[in-house]
Amino acid sequence: MAVAERKTFSVYKGLQKPLVFKAFKGKFIFWGVGSVLGSVIIGGLLMALVSSIIGGLAMVAGIIGGFLITASQQKKGLFNKTKHNGIYIIASVYKHGKAK
């Protein structure tokens, strides 16, 4: 019997950078897609129930508004960051001086 040769394949692990699509990064891609889909659904319902003009305007306003909100949130960063403002005094647990 012939022994099969072992093949090795290089694994691409990426560059530890977020996915980028049309200037949106990481989770904000999904935010943009969600705003488009939500606006299309709401605009379609308004077109069917009220008026095609009102539905079209609502759709365009929703898409533009969703993209503006997504872009403004993206400027804050990919991860939720808590910014603490003010002065914090932390009491020391160590006593200074000679031990008794």
Query: Against a cut of 0.85, is the pTM above it?
Result: no
Alpha-carbon span 11 to 94, nearest angstrom: 51
Q: What is the mean pLDDT of residues 45-69?
A: 92
| Confidence check: pLDDT of 34 > 80 | yes
Does residue 27 surpass a pLDDT of 90?
no
Q: What is the pLDDT of residue 86?
A: 81
Helix locations, the chain, DSSP H = 27-49, 52-75
Checking if the pLDDT of 38 tops 80, the result is yes
Give 36's DSSP letter. Answer: H
- Domain ranges for the chain: 30-73
What is the predicted pLDDT for the residue at 76?
75
pLDDT bin (cut points 50, 70, 90) of residue 53 is: very high
Phi then psi for residue 20, to 5 deg, are -125, 130
CA–CA distances in Å: residue 91 to residues 13, 87, 88, 94, 95: 45, 13, 10, 9, 11
- Tracing tokens 């129930």 back to the chain, one arrives at 49
